[in-house]
Amino acid sequence: MPNWIKTIVKAEGLSKLNIFCKDKEGFITLDFDKIIPQPKTEAECPECYLKRKDDHIQASADKPWFNWYAWNNNNWGVKWNARVWDDKIEPADEIAIATPNGCPIPVLKEISRMLGNTALTVETHDEDNFYQPIYRLEWIDGRETGVWKSEWDEEKEDFGDFHKIT
């Protein structure tokens, strides 16, 4: 069972990118496959992501040749596509998503590249820390421009303000 990470993604113009999909209930989330697409055929799949007999990952019915687990972790930074966090029904310039065990850094960098000179700001919240904000990251055109961290404040018995670490 994964620890879920809430990731809030903000950028002017984010809603205009073709990177969203709807879940079964009609709520909007990011679709990592629209941002960094998985291989569609066995022929275009790098050999290191072809499923081997000793892999302990269940292949999908439509891609029995594909080690989706290794590919997703190496290319998206997480094992599954984004899940809905909030109840938005239309793309917006701010969206909250849920991902298992981590923040999808490669996907966010690619979104930043798509936005060009517009700042993409990301805030992560880990369920282990009662969904308090832990990191704030910012990229412009795929380049990291800042990382801030919030740490536990013993006196307040809560997380403190963000402080810049890079």
10-residue mean pLDDT series, the chain (166 residues)? 84 94 86 96 94 83 91 94 84 89 91 94 75 74 79 59 58
pLDDT of residue 88: 80
pLDDT of residue 112: 95
- Could you identify the residue written with the tokens 């990301």? 122
Cβ atoms 150, 133 nearer than 8 A: yes
Residues in the chain: 166
DSSP state, residue 63? B
Report the sign of the C-alpha dihedral through residues 83, 152, 135, 94, in that order. positive
Q: Which residues contact 67 (CB under 8 A, 6 or more apart)?
A: 49, 50, 51, 52, 55, 57, 59
Alpha-carbon distance of 97 to 113, in angstroms, equals 19
pLDDT of residue 67: 93
Q: Put the strands of the sheet holding 163-164 in their side by side order.
A: 83-84, 94-100, 4-10, 120-126, 133-140, 143-149, 163-164
